[in-house]
Amino acid sequence: MSNVVSALQGASFDDGIAKVEEMGLLGMITLRGDFADKKLIKAVKKIAGGMPDQRVIVEKNGQSAAWMSPDELLLIVPHAEAAGVAEGLNASLQGTHFLAVNVSDARAVFDVSGPHARSVMAKLAPVDFAEGAFEAGVIRRSRLAQIPAAFWMTQDGAFRVVCFRSVAKYAFDVLCVAAQKGSEVSAS
């Protein structure tokens, strides 16, 4: 599959107050539909183990479902399986009004890690990143400086950031600027 490449092919930065890495491709499916619909709930649970509440991301066996809006979820699966999962949803939800579409390649994914990761994120996104306010299980669909972005925390305490593929370079660069040497904030 050498023909399949992520936007920045794994660029990384570790010369500042946090580590910034472009992760490989993730499978992502936009699912729009009625959250009260039993078929939809069942299908989402089968993929991610549960239905997420507002601003919540649930995860099971490496597959996730994230709340995006009152009628939109983001399903996260291995990249190679995304097309199959979308097709599966098309089959299992037939007869209801919904939209399932593979958006895996429209995205770029980054991890921001290290003891100052919260500060680095708080320089770019208008979100409360204080401990206790933002923990694993929370997802925010917000912005990173001048671009739309969604982010949540992984189990190992890193921030996973998702943005559009076309602005991957900007996202990486602006994260590196925010993580520059000597820019610790240390605000609790």
Q: State yes or no: residue 173 binds other proteins (CB under 8 A).
A: yes
Q: Which stretch binds other proteins (CB under 8 A): 40-48, 57-65, 152-160, 162-170?
A: 162-170
Contact residue for other proteins among 101, 135, 136, 154 (CB under 8 A): 101
Report in angstroms how near the CB of residue 139 gets to other proteins at its nearest.
17
Q: State yes or no: residue 7 binds other proteins (CB under 8 A).
A: yes
Report in angstroms how near the CB of residue 18 gets to other proteins at its nearest.
13
Q: State yes or no: residue 70 binds other proteins (CB under 8 A).
A: no
Q: Which stretch binds other proteins (CB under 8 A): 36-44, 50-58, 126-134, 153-161?
A: 126-134
Report in angstroms how near the CB of residue 124 gets to other proteins at its nearest.
8
SS (H, E, C) the chain: CCCCCCCCCCCEECCCCCEEEECCCEEEEEEECCCCCHHHHHHHHHHHCCCCCCCEEEEECCEEEEEEECCEEEEEEEHHHHHHHHHHHHHHCCCCCCEEEECHHHEEEEEEECCCHHHHHHCCCCCCCCCCCCCCCEEEEEEECCEEEEEEECCCCCEEEEEEHHHHHHHHHHHHHHCCCCCCCCCC
Q: State yes or no: residue 35 binds other proteins (CB under 8 A).
A: no
Q: Which stretch binds other proteins (CB under 8 A): 44-52, 58-66, 105-113, 153-161?
A: 105-113
